[in-house]
Amino acid sequence: MFIGENPIHIKVENKSDISNLVIMPGDPLRAKYIAENFLDNAKEVTCVRNMLGFTGTYKGKKITVMGSGMGMPSIGIYSFELFHFFDVDKIIRIGTAGAVSKEAKLKDVILAKDAYSESNFAYSFNGYEKNVVDGCKNLNSVISRTAKEIGLKIQEGTILTCDVFGPYIDIDAILNRVPKHIELLIEEMEGFGLLHVANHFHKEAAVIATVVDSKYSDVVLTIEDRQLKLNDMITLALESIIK
Protein backbone atom coordinates (compact mmCIF):
# COMPACT_ATOMS: atom_id res chain seq x y z
CA MET A 1 0.00 0.00 0.00
CA PHE A 2 1.32 3.45 -0.92
CA ILE A 3 0.04 6.23 1.29
CA GLY A 4 2.88 8.74 1.26
CA GLU A 5 3.81 11.27 3.89
CA ASN A 6 1.33 13.99 2.97
CA PRO A 7 -2.34 14.07 2.02
CA ILE A 8 -3.15 14.51 -1.65
CA HIS A 9 -6.62 16.06 -1.38
CA ILE A 10 -6.29 18.35 1.64
CA LYS A 11 -3.67 21.12 1.68
CA VAL A 12 -3.18 23.35 4.73
CA GLU A 13 -0.45 25.70 5.87
CA ASN A 14 -0.06 23.89 9.18
CA LYS A 15 -1.33 20.52 10.37
CA SER A 16 -2.88 22.32 13.34
CA ASP A 17 -5.22 24.15 10.93
CA ILE A 18 -7.44 21.06 11.08
CA SER A 19 -9.25 20.43 14.36
CA ASN A 20 -9.57 16.93 15.80
CA LEU A 21 -13.35 17.54 15.68
CA VAL A 22 -14.91 17.71 12.21
CA ILE A 23 -18.41 18.41 10.95
CA MET A 24 -18.80 17.15 7.38
CA PRO A 25 -21.67 18.16 5.08
CA GLY A 26 -21.61 16.88 1.53
CA ASP A 27 -21.75 20.32 -0.09
CA PRO A 28 -18.60 22.46 0.31
CA LEU A 29 -20.78 25.57 0.08
CA ARG A 30 -22.79 24.30 3.02
CA ALA A 31 -19.48 24.04 4.89
CA LYS A 32 -18.94 27.70 4.03
CA TYR A 33 -22.46 28.53 5.25
CA ILE A 34 -21.84 26.78 8.56
CA ALA A 35 -18.50 28.51 9.03
CA GLU A 36 -20.00 31.93 8.36
CA ASN A 37 -23.15 31.49 10.44
CA PHE A 38 -22.21 29.17 13.32
CA LEU A 39 -18.47 29.46 13.96
CA ASP A 40 -16.46 32.31 15.46
CA ASN A 41 -13.24 33.49 13.84
CA ALA A 42 -13.62 30.99 11.01
CA LYS A 43 -11.03 30.91 8.25
CA GLU A 44 -10.69 28.84 5.09
CA VAL A 45 -7.91 26.31 5.60
CA THR A 46 -8.14 24.11 2.50
CA CYS A 47 -9.67 24.41 -0.97
CA VAL A 48 -8.14 21.64 -3.08
CA ARG A 49 -10.57 20.81 -5.93
CA ASN A 50 -12.90 23.40 -4.36
CA MET A 51 -13.62 21.01 -1.49
CA LEU A 52 -13.70 23.83 1.02
CA GLY A 53 -12.70 23.40 4.64
CA PHE A 54 -12.94 25.98 7.41
CA THR A 55 -11.74 26.07 10.99
CA GLY A 56 -13.09 28.27 13.76
CA THR A 57 -14.55 27.93 17.22
CA TYR A 58 -17.96 26.97 18.54
CA LYS A 59 -18.57 27.88 22.18
CA GLY A 60 -14.82 28.14 22.58
CA LYS A 61 -14.03 24.72 21.08
CA LYS A 62 -11.97 24.46 17.90
CA ILE A 63 -14.02 22.94 15.08
CA THR A 64 -13.33 22.17 11.43
CA VAL A 65 -16.19 21.98 8.95
CA MET A 66 -15.40 20.54 5.54
CA GLY A 67 -17.31 19.24 2.54
CA SER A 68 -17.14 15.57 1.62
CA GLY A 69 -18.55 15.61 -1.89
CA MET A 70 -21.10 13.06 -3.06
CA GLY A 71 -20.79 9.30 -2.74
CA MET A 72 -18.67 6.88 -0.76
CA PRO A 73 -15.51 7.21 -2.89
CA SER A 74 -15.43 10.95 -2.17
CA ILE A 75 -16.16 10.86 1.56
CA GLY A 76 -13.84 7.86 1.79
CA ILE A 77 -10.92 9.93 0.52
CA TYR A 78 -11.50 12.91 2.79
CA SER A 79 -12.30 10.94 5.93
CA PHE A 80 -9.23 8.75 5.35
CA GLU A 81 -6.96 11.77 5.06
CA LEU A 82 -8.53 13.47 8.08
CA PHE A 83 -8.14 10.41 10.29
CA HIS A 84 -4.72 9.32 8.99
CA PHE A 85 -2.83 12.56 8.37
CA PHE A 86 -4.52 14.97 10.79
CA ASP A 87 -5.30 12.70 13.76
CA VAL A 88 -8.97 13.64 13.69
CA ASP A 89 -10.88 11.92 16.49
CA LYS A 90 -14.50 12.54 15.51
CA ILE A 91 -16.40 13.21 12.30
CA ILE A 92 -20.13 13.87 12.20
CA ARG A 93 -21.65 13.75 8.74
CA ILE A 94 -24.67 15.98 8.24
CA GLY A 95 -26.65 15.53 5.08
CA THR A 96 -29.97 15.16 3.33
CA ALA A 97 -31.79 11.92 2.59
CA GLY A 98 -34.87 10.36 1.05
CA ALA A 99 -37.34 8.37 3.14
CA VAL A 100 -37.80 4.71 2.23
CA SER A 101 -40.06 4.00 5.20
CA LYS A 102 -43.41 5.44 6.12
CA GLU A 103 -41.93 5.93 9.60
CA ALA A 104 -39.59 8.62 8.26
CA LYS A 105 -41.44 11.84 7.46
CA LEU A 106 -40.35 14.96 5.62
CA LYS A 107 -38.21 17.19 7.85
CA ASP A 108 -37.43 14.33 10.26
CA VAL A 109 -33.86 14.20 11.55
CA ILE A 110 -32.42 10.69 11.45
CA LEU A 111 -29.41 9.35 13.37
CA ALA A 112 -27.84 6.25 11.82
CA LYS A 113 -27.56 3.36 14.26
CA ASP A 114 -25.88 1.50 11.42
CA ALA A 115 -25.76 1.54 7.63
CA TYR A 116 -26.58 -1.07 4.99
CA SER A 117 -25.14 -1.04 1.46
CA GLU A 118 -24.81 -3.30 -1.58
CA SER A 119 -21.60 -1.46 -2.47
CA ASN A 120 -18.17 -3.07 -2.79
CA PHE A 121 -16.64 -0.02 -1.09
CA ALA A 122 -15.75 -1.81 2.16
CA TYR A 123 -14.51 -4.94 0.39
CA SER A 124 -12.27 -2.87 -1.87
CA PHE A 125 -11.07 -0.83 1.10
CA ASN A 126 -9.93 -3.67 3.35
CA GLY A 127 -11.70 -6.90 2.45
CA TYR A 128 -14.73 -6.33 4.69
CA GLU A 129 -17.47 -8.60 3.33
CA LYS A 130 -20.55 -7.65 5.34
CA ASN A 131 -23.32 -5.38 4.08
CA VAL A 132 -23.82 -3.59 7.42
CA VAL A 133 -21.44 -1.32 9.31
CA ASP A 134 -22.12 -0.06 12.82
CA GLY A 135 -22.20 3.53 13.93
CA CYS A 136 -20.18 4.60 16.97
CA LYS A 137 -22.33 3.79 20.00
CA ASN A 138 -20.59 6.34 22.21
CA LEU A 139 -20.96 9.25 19.79
CA ASN A 140 -24.51 8.24 18.90
CA SER A 141 -25.38 8.20 22.59
CA VAL A 142 -24.03 11.74 22.95
CA ILE A 143 -26.04 12.90 19.94
CA SER A 144 -29.23 11.27 21.20
CA ARG A 145 -28.81 12.85 24.63
CA THR A 146 -27.98 16.25 23.14
CA ALA A 147 -31.08 16.16 20.93
CA LYS A 148 -33.21 15.80 24.06
CA GLU A 149 -31.35 18.62 25.77
CA ILE A 150 -32.00 21.06 22.91
CA GLY A 151 -35.57 19.87 22.37
CA LEU A 152 -35.03 18.32 18.94
CA LYS A 153 -36.94 15.13 18.17
CA ILE A 154 -34.88 12.61 16.20
CA GLN A 155 -35.25 9.02 15.07
CA GLU A 156 -32.52 6.40 15.25
CA GLY A 157 -32.33 3.46 12.90
CA THR A 158 -30.69 1.76 9.94
CA ILE A 159 -29.92 3.77 6.81
CA LEU A 160 -29.36 2.63 3.24
CA THR A 161 -26.28 3.96 1.46
CA CYS A 162 -26.49 3.73 -2.34
CA ASP A 163 -23.88 4.10 -5.07
CA VAL A 164 -26.43 5.88 -7.26
CA PHE A 165 -28.70 8.82 -6.41
CA GLY A 166 -31.94 7.28 -5.16
CA PRO A 167 -34.49 9.34 -7.14
CA TYR A 168 -32.74 8.41 -10.41
CA ILE A 169 -33.03 4.62 -10.00
CA ASP A 170 -35.61 1.97 -9.23
CA ILE A 171 -35.13 2.18 -5.47
CA ASP A 172 -37.72 -0.54 -4.91
CA ALA A 173 -35.50 -3.02 -6.74
CA ILE A 174 -32.80 -2.40 -4.15
CA LEU A 175 -35.22 -2.45 -1.24
CA ASN A 176 -36.59 -5.81 -2.38
CA ARG A 177 -33.09 -7.29 -2.19
CA VAL A 178 -32.49 -6.12 1.37
CA PRO A 179 -32.84 -8.95 3.93
CA LYS A 180 -36.29 -8.84 5.50
CA HIS A 181 -34.98 -8.47 9.05
CA ILE A 182 -33.31 -5.16 8.17
CA GLU A 183 -35.67 -2.20 8.52
CA LEU A 184 -34.47 0.86 6.66
CA LEU A 185 -35.55 4.43 7.35
CA ILE A 186 -33.78 6.49 4.70
CA GLU A 187 -31.43 6.31 1.74
CA GLU A 188 -28.39 8.47 1.08
CA MET A 189 -24.95 8.09 -0.51
CA GLU A 190 -22.14 8.55 2.04
CA GLY A 191 -22.90 7.15 5.49
CA PHE A 192 -21.73 3.55 5.03
CA GLY A 193 -18.39 4.76 3.66
CA LEU A 194 -17.71 7.18 6.50
CA LEU A 195 -18.64 4.69 9.22
CA HIS A 196 -16.47 1.98 7.67
CA VAL A 197 -13.40 4.19 7.37
CA ALA A 198 -13.87 5.41 10.96
CA ASN A 199 -14.20 1.84 12.23
CA HIS A 200 -11.02 0.91 10.35
CA PHE A 201 -9.11 3.64 12.17
CA HIS A 202 -10.86 2.97 15.51
CA LYS A 203 -12.15 6.53 15.46
CA GLU A 204 -15.60 7.96 16.18
CA ALA A 205 -18.05 8.87 13.42
CA ALA A 206 -21.76 9.45 13.18
CA VAL A 207 -24.28 10.15 10.44
CA ILE A 208 -27.17 12.56 10.86
CA ALA A 209 -29.52 13.26 7.96
CA THR A 210 -32.61 15.38 7.38
CA VAL A 211 -35.39 13.88 5.26
CA VAL A 212 -36.03 16.16 2.28
CA ASP A 213 -38.00 13.81 0.02
CA SER A 214 -39.85 10.51 0.29
CA LYS A 215 -40.87 7.62 -1.92
CA TYR A 216 -44.27 7.95 -0.29
CA SER A 217 -44.79 11.61 -1.16
CA ASP A 218 -44.58 13.93 -4.14
CA VAL A 219 -43.71 16.84 -1.84
CA VAL A 220 -40.17 18.16 -1.94
CA LEU A 221 -39.04 20.64 0.70
CA THR A 222 -38.63 24.24 -0.41
CA ILE A 223 -35.22 25.85 -0.17
CA GLU A 224 -36.42 27.80 2.89
CA ASP A 225 -37.75 24.70 4.65
CA ARG A 226 -34.59 22.78 3.89
CA GLN A 227 -32.39 25.47 5.38
CA LEU A 228 -34.49 25.81 8.53
CA LYS A 229 -34.39 22.08 9.23
CA LEU A 230 -30.74 21.83 8.25
CA ASN A 231 -29.99 24.54 10.80
CA ASP A 232 -31.53 22.30 13.47
CA MET A 233 -29.30 19.43 12.34
CA ILE A 234 -26.22 21.65 12.21
CA THR A 235 -26.85 22.84 15.76
CA LEU A 236 -27.31 19.26 16.95
CA ALA A 237 -24.01 18.21 15.36
CA LEU A 238 -22.08 21.14 16.78
CA GLU A 239 -23.52 20.79 20.27
CA SER A 240 -22.76 17.05 20.23
CA ILE A 241 -19.22 17.09 18.89
CA ILE A 242 -17.93 19.46 21.60
CA LYS A 243 -18.99 17.12 24.43
How far does Cα 206 stand from its chain's mean position? Answer: 7
Q: Is 40 a catalytic residue?
A: no
Looking at residue 17, the DSSP 8-state letter turns out to be G
Catalytic one among 17, 114, 213, 232?
A: 213
**One-letter amino acid of 200:** H
Asked if 173 and 155 touch (Cβ cutoff 8 Å), the reply is: no
Asked if 160 and 115 touch (Cβ cutoff 8 Å), the reply is: yes
Per-position DSSP letters for 122-139, written without gaps between them: HHHHH----SEEE--HHH
Per-position DSSP letters for 167-212, written without gaps between them: GGS-HHHHHHHS-TT--EEEEESSHHHHHHHHHHHT-EEEEEEEEE
What lies within 8 Å, CB to CB, of 76 at 6+ separation is 121, 125, 193, 194, 197
**One-letter amino acid of 211:** V
Looking at residue 16, the DSSP 8-state letter turns out to be G
Q: How far is residue 86's CA from residue 66's CA, in Å, rounded to a whole number?
A: 13
Q: How far is residue 25's CA from residue 29's CA, in Å, rounded to a whole number?
A: 9
Q: Which residues are catalytic?
A: 213
